[in-house]
Chains A and B, each alone.
Chain A
Amino acid sequence: MRRIGKNHASDEPVILCAEEVSREFDDHGIRVAALNRVSFTVARAGVTGLVGADGAGKTTFIRIAAGLLVPTSGKMSLLGLDSAAGSLEIQSRVGYMPQKFGLYQDLTVRENMNLYADLQGVPMAQRSRRYEQLLTMTDLAAYTKRRAGALSGGMKQKLGLACALIKSPELLLLDEPTVGVDPVSRRELWKIVYKLVEEDGIGVLVSTAYLDEAERCSHVVVLHQGRLLAEGVPEDFSSKMKNRVSLVTAEKSGQLRRIYTRVAGEEGIVDATIRSGRVRVVREQESAGRLKQLLNGAKVKIETAEPGFEDAFMALIPRERDHLKAAGEAGGGSFSRKAEGDDVVVVHTRDLSRRFGDFEAVKKLNFSVKRGEIFGLLGPNGAGKSTTFRMLCGLLPASSGDIQVAGVNLLKSRAKARARLGYMAQQFSLYGQLSVKENLSFFGRVYGLDNKNLKKRIDWAYSEFGLGRLRNKAAVDLPGGYKQRLAMAAALLHEPDILFLDEPTSGVDPFARREFWLRINGFAEQGVTVVVTTHFMEEAEYCDRMLIMSQGETLAVGTPEEIRNLAVSAENQHPTMDDAFIALAEGNVRNASDQADSTGRQDRDSGGEP
């Protein structure tokens, strides 16, 4: 365990103190340690961030703090009380917001607040003042009579927070409070948290998978596979990375992805991502020699960049590198087709709409995707991405408007037309009880591979995705990242022309996400058309073009650069995708679809309303 910088917490009165906390679970008779002798403290009047990849033990730690689990060994005390013995007392003095927050969907906003006020024993006299405070803070005052189930993702999250705060807790425990929430709501949520810290002086322990959020914490604890790797103030983490981060700008804009593929996963390179139209590279050493060597011959400009917490985090976590490299090479020669830089439109929609009763989930969507493009559908949960996606795949009929995929509407076309499609559903959706091998051969046969080809392709999947040694394991028992690989392998087994990927990176840790995008890049290079949905705004950088949606409406369509340029202002020369989304959502820029939707409108002249 390394200590970075001074121990921030020791100056402040301690509100939570973990001493050598361990927790084991029973997994099919094998003891698995979710937490392994973790010690740290949380200070009053500050935000402590719990950061880590999947399976780091974040949720387990917060659950122990909330008195929901008892540590196998070690001791945790909150507010001077033992977490196991004093749980009842603790529970009346802390606010807790679980990952899947327990709002009662059938109850209104006010009724949910009443319930938690009753349970927490908030005196009647104080309620109206407290409610008013919380409702103003969360901007929910206008919705008190609405059922929680009918709120948007961000509003639900804010209501959850309001319920957890109902009795002005001394300590607030938040377990991944911003997953699937749009950037605007995320920003608001953090504002509320900081207001509480500053005004009421409460302590906050928050776990997060968004590394940019770690930067907003006053103290960060990094967990990895149940162990504490490092802790300290975020700046201490980033200062260690000084001179190790570069931004590579391609002189020709089309080169960006190629540069990215070339450096990602190479020896000496800790991390490579596409950010704001440039490749951001984190090196193992301060010298840029290795990077230059890799980029030898390419026309690029290399600048030094300010390091962030994310860079430090990537450098901190040990991991296998070979798969990342394999991912970048994506299939090697197995895809026989060559990229044909033609302008053939593969996916096309015109005034696509979908209603559920009175609710308009998708409103008049227009876009086209050309062969070999990576096209992103972006937006927060509930924006209508999945509905659009399901209509494209022929899983859901459209209420009005046209869809064509490879020249046909998949809902009505003959089954054969679907044979050219690869599909990866939201969340893990393979047959959990079947083994890796059984899943692969099922999907291969379904798409008509004969025995010889099937064997060839399965062998390809084993080596490409590193699934060979897991071939007899049931899919449900695979570790998170491998599940995603298997799902992808199954979708690619029959060498599809078009790939539909619905939220492929949701619930996947930063490493798996990087690996995934590297792979997608490789496929697109070979002429596969990719349509992908995501709620991670920064992932939009990997797309050729994208469409940003919110509440069923198109906010903007265009290349990442075009979209980002919408948010360029005097204060912000290099806006991120998040910035662009916030600007779009707040109406600070002219509705971009007018200016950016170039391909989508080309073929609209032919007819009026359907």
Chain B
Amino acid sequence: MNLFAMRLRGILKKEVLQILRDPSSIALALVMPLVLLFLFGYGVNLDAENIPVAVITEDDGGAARDLVGRFELSRQFQVYRVTDIREAESLMQQRNVEAIVRLRNDFSARLTGSTEQQAPVQLIINGIDANRARLIEGYVKRITGTWAAQRQARGEAVSTGPVSIAHRIWFNEGAESRNFLVPGLITLIMTLIGILLTALVIAREWERGTMEAMLVTPLRRFDILLGKILPYYVLGMLGMGLSVAVGVLLFEVPFRGSLTALAVLGSLFMLASLGFGLLVSAAVRVQFVAAQISIVAGFLPAFFLSGLIFDLESTPKVIQIISHAVPARYFVNISHTLFMAGDIWSVLLPNGLVLAGMAIVFLGLAFRKITKRLDG
């Protein structure tokens, strides 16, 4: 066995034993991802069901009854029938309902009567949560639209308008937000392991004085770098594998790309994160400061500036420019594509290249920062 291999074996074995025996590493590397997965899998959901809606039926006609029935049948709405607008408004003020649908007393008559008059469906939404309000609006439109189209098909007089949209949502036909959130979350979990855990572990070696003893051995700088990268790389990839498995098996998120592509691109992202984490820990030798830096500069941007939840393209230009420095942004894009769309190289390749570049820069800087002296 040559000396390099022996040194590497020593440092790797030590690292693995330490991870296995230190509860806080395990907590951060395995428990935290699971907690996050379940939180996001169950807790975070942009799709709504059973939205409480007050429906005012001043009209007793067949058409009105039919339409209200549609609302009652849909799984999106939970209908509260009320008889006048005042009652509905007070329900809304007390936050008991989120929207009011009102069919005036001449609704059925207008629909079946003269051609000149339109039959209005009045919709009042609580707009505080604008996103939810838009969703509700969309659901209402879908119900009324389908109802109208079906009436028309049956030959009953109703117009759907001259131009209508026939839309298809690709990759995510049901527009389920879980399919969008879980792949993004994997990025967050890998960031946690790559940056926070790595930065903490190395800072801890400085604090406990183990680093000093380590430096006065024939270890080369390269050995130190490799000895730190390999175990946490494996840990990060395990975290990724775990997340993918839970996502696909438990949350039934589709995975349409190839695992090879995921492994390769995931590795690039992991290396970029590790490089950043190593850089932080080489610059700061105190766990406390390392934790703060990795949260502020690693974790929070990965959450807010990566397109994980909030759409980047809708933000002001400055924010978009800043977001280009966040590695998580590229991997969020990659994992969304891999999960929902498949191996689309025109998306994967450029993002992968940027990640590779970042990995090289961060690791290179970390290598330069690693020193065998105390005052480096």
Footprint of B on A, CB under 8 Å? 63, 66-70, 87-88, 91-92, 94, 96-107, 111, 114-121, 124, 147, 160, 163, 173
Asked if B17 contacts A98 (CB within 8 A), the reply is: no
Whole-angstrom distance from the CB of B141 to the nearest CB of chain A?
Answer: 60
| Cross-chain contact of B218 among A102, A115, A119 (Cβ < 8 A) | A119
Contact: A107 with B17, CB < 8 Å? yes
List 11 contacting pairs A-B, 8 Å CB cutoff, sorted by A: A67-B216, A68-B372, A68-B373, A88-B218, A96-B216, A98-B216, A102-B214, A114-B13, A115-B11, A119-B219, A147-B21
Chain B positions within 8 Å of A66 at CB level: 215-216
Tell yes or no: B296 within 8 A of A by CB: no
Q: B90 within 8 Å of A by Cβ? A: no
With A104-B14, A107-B18 already in contact, the answer to whether A68 and B218 are too (CB < 8 A) is: no
A118 engages B212 (CB within 8 Å): no
Give the contacting residue for A69; candidates B9, B210, B374; CB below 8 A.
Answer: B374
Determine if A102 and B219 form an interchain contact, defined as CB atoms under 8 angstroms apart: no
Partner of B213, one of A102, A107, A114, A121: A102
Max chain B CB contacts within 10 Å: which of A91, A119, A120? A119
Other 14 A-B pairs with CB < 8 A, given A100-B209, A118-B7, A119-B217: A70-B373, A88-B218, A98-B209, A99-B209, A102-B210, A102-B213, A106-B18, A107-B21, A111-B17, A115-B13, A116-B217, A119-B11, A119-B219, A121-B7
Residues of chain A within 8 A (CB-CB) of B22 are 106
On whether the beta carbons of A91 and B216 are closer than 8 Å, the reply is yes
Q: Is the CB of A115 within 8 A of B212?
A: no
Q: A102-B212, A106-B17 are known contacts. Are A121 and B374 too (CB-CB below 8 A)? A: no
Count chain B CB atoms within 10 A of each CB in A102, A107, A116 and give the residue with the most. A102
Contacts of B209 in A (CB 8 A): 98-102
Set A88, A97, A103, A117: member contacting B210, Cβ < 8 A: A103
**CB-based closest 7 A-B pairs:** A118-B10, A102-B213, A100-B209, A102-B210, A92-B218, A96-B216, A106-B21
Q: Which residues of B contact A94 (CB under 8 A)?
A: 216
Interface majority SS on B: helix, strand, loop or mixed?
Answer: helix
Closest to A98 in B: B212
CB distance from B188 to the nearest CB of A (A): 28
B148 interfacial contact with A, CB 8 Å: no
In contact, A120 and B373 (Cβ under 8 angstroms): no
Q: Write out the residue numbers on chain B whose beta carbons fall within 8 Å of the beta carbon of A87.
A: 372
Alpha-carbon separation in the docked complex, A439 to B123 (Å): 66
* Chain B, 353-376, CB within 8 A of any chain A CB: 372-375
CB distance from B107 to the nearest CB of A (A): 73
Q: Does B322 contact A (CB under 8 A)?
A: no
Contact in complex: A107, B375 (CB < 8 Å): no
Q: Does B82 count as interface, using CB distance less than 8 angstroms?
A: no
Shortest distance between the CB of A176 and any CB in chain B (Å) = 12
A98 CB contacts on chain B under 8 angstroms = 209, 212-213, 216
- Chain B's closest residue to A116 (CB) is B217
> Is B211 a contact of A119 with CB atoms below 8 Å?
no
Whether A67 and B372, one on each chain, are in contact in the complex, defined by CB atoms closer than 8 angstroms, is yes
Evaluate whether A101 and B213 lie within 8 angstroms (CB atoms) in the complex, with A87-B372, A115-B10 already known: yes
Known: A102-B213, A121-B3, A121-B218. A115 touches B373 (CB 8 A): no
Contact B212 A120 (CB under 8 A): no
With A68-B374, A100-B208, A106-B22 in contact, do A88 and B216 touch (Cβ < 8 Å)?
no
User: In the bound complex, what is the Cα–Cα distance between A70 and B11 (angstroms)?
Assistant: 26
Distance (Å) between the CB of B26 and the closest chain A CB? Answer: 12
CA of A107 to CA of B213 in the docked complex: distance in angstroms?
A: 15
Cα distance A91–B11 in the bound complex, in angstroms: 16
Considering only CB atoms, which chain B residue lies closest to A102 in the complex?
B213
Q: Could you say which of A70, A92, A105, A118 contacts B6, with CB atoms under 8 Å apart? A: A118
Closest to B12 in A: A118
In chain A, what residue has the closest Cβ to B3? A121
Contact, CB under 8 Å: A69 / B375: yes
A150 CB to closest chain B CB (Å) equals: 12
User: CA separation between A94 and B211, bound complex, in Å?
Assistant: 17
Chain A residue at minimum C-beta to C-beta distance from B9: A118
B window 180-225: CB within 8 A of A: 208-220
Q: CB-nearest residue of chain A relative to B218?
A: A92
Complex contacts, A102 vs chain B, CB 8 Å: 208-214
Q: Which interface class (under 10, 10 to 19, 20 to 34, 35 or more) fits B?
A: 20 to 34
Out of B1, B212, B219, name the residue touching A68 (CB < 8 Å): B212
Residues from chain B with a CB closer than 8 A to the CB of A106 are: 17-18, 21-22
Partner of A111, one of B7, B14, B216, B372: B14
**Which chain A positions have C-beta within 8 A of B11?**
115, 118-119
B-side contacts of A114, CB under 8 Å: 10, 13
By a CB distance below 8 angstroms, the chain A residues around B220 are: 88
Contact partner, A124, options B1, B7, B215, Cβ 8 Å: B1
- Find out whether the CB atom of A120 lies under 8 angstroms from the CB atom of B210: no
- Most central of B214, B217, B372 by chain A CB within 10 Å: B217
Nearest neighbor of A88 in chain B, beta-carbon distance: B218
Question: Which partner residue on chain B sits nearest A23 by CB separation?
Answer: B375
The contact of B10 among A69, A103, A119, by CB within 8 Å, is: A119
Residues of B near A121 (CB, < 8 A) are: 3, 6-7, 218
Bound Cα distance from A88 to B224, whole angstroms = 14
Q: Which residues of B lie under 8 Å from residue A97 when comparing CB positions?
A: 213
**In the complex, what residues of A have CB within 8 A of residue B208's CB?**
100, 102, 105
Q: How far is the CA of A69 from the CA of B372 in the complex (A)?
A: 9
CA of A107 to CA of B15 in the docked complex: distance in angstroms?
10
Complex contact B374–A120 (CB within 8 A): no
A97 to B216, CA, bound (A): 9
Report chain B residues within 8 Å CB of A120. Answer: 217-218
Q: How far is the CB of B213 from chain A (nearest CB, A)?
A: 3
Q: Tell me the minimal C-beta distance from B139 to chain A in angstroms.
A: 55
What separation, in Å, do the CA atoms of A198 and B217 have in the docked complex?
25
Bound-state Cα–Cα, A97 to B285, Å: 20
CB contact under 8 A between A115 and B216, given known A102-B209, A103-B210? no
Q: Report the separation of the CA atoms of residues A124 and B13 in the bound assembly, to the nearest whole angstrom.
A: 16
Given contacts A67-B372, A68-B374, A104-B14, A91 and B212 within 8 Å (CB-CB): no
A120 and B3 CA atoms in complex are apart in Å by 8
Task: Report the Cα distance A460→B117, complex, angstroms.
Answer: 97
Report yes or no: B216 in contact with A104, Cβ–Cβ below 8 A: no
- 8 Å CB contact of B217 from A91, A104, A173: A91
A515–B131 alpha-carbon span in the complex (Å): 72
B residues near A68, Cβ cutoff 8 Å: 212, 215-216, 372-374
A400 vs B36: C-alpha distance when bound (angstroms): 43
Residues of B within 8 A of A91 (CB): 215-218, 372
Query: In the complex, A454→B84 CA distance in Å?
Result: 74
Q: How far is the CA of A111 from the CA of B11 in the complex (A)?
A: 11
B372 to chain A, nearest CB (A): 7
A119 and B212 in contact, given A106-B22, A114-B13 (Cβ under 8 angstroms): no
Chain B hits for A160, CB < 8 A: 213
Interface centre among B10, B22, B213 (most CB of A within 10 A): B213
Q: From residue A180, how far is it (CB to closest CB) to chain B in Å?
A: 14
Enumerate chain B residues within 8 angstroms of A111, measured Cβ to Cβ. Answer: 13-14, 17
Determine the distance from Cα of A69 to Cα of B212 in the docked complex, in whole angstroms. 11
Query: Which residue from chain A places its CB closest to the CB of B14 in the assembled complex?
Result: A115
Smallest distance from the beta carbon of A163 to chain B beta carbons, Å? 8
Smallest CB gap from B215: residue in A: A68
* Residues in B whose Cβ lies below 8 Å from that of A118: 6-7, 9-11, 13
> With the chains together, A103 CA to B216 CA distance in Å?
13
Contact with A along B91-121 (1 / 0, CB 8 A): 0000000000000000000000000000000
The smallest beta-carbon distance between A215 and chain B, in angstroms, is 28
Binary A-proximity of B13-33 (CB < 8 A = 1, otherwise 0): 110011001100000000000
* Bound CA–CA A129/B220 (angstroms): 27
Nearest chain B CB to A66 CB, angstrom units: 5
Q: Give min CB distance, B198 to chain A, whole Å.
A: 17
CB distance from A107 to the nearest CB of B (A): 6
Q: From A25, which residue of chain B is reached at the shortest CB distance?
A: B375
CA distance A120 to B218 in the complex (A): 6
In this complex, what residue of A is CB-closest to B25?
A106
Q: Which residues does chain B contribute within 8 Å of A100, judged by CB atoms?
A: 208-209, 212
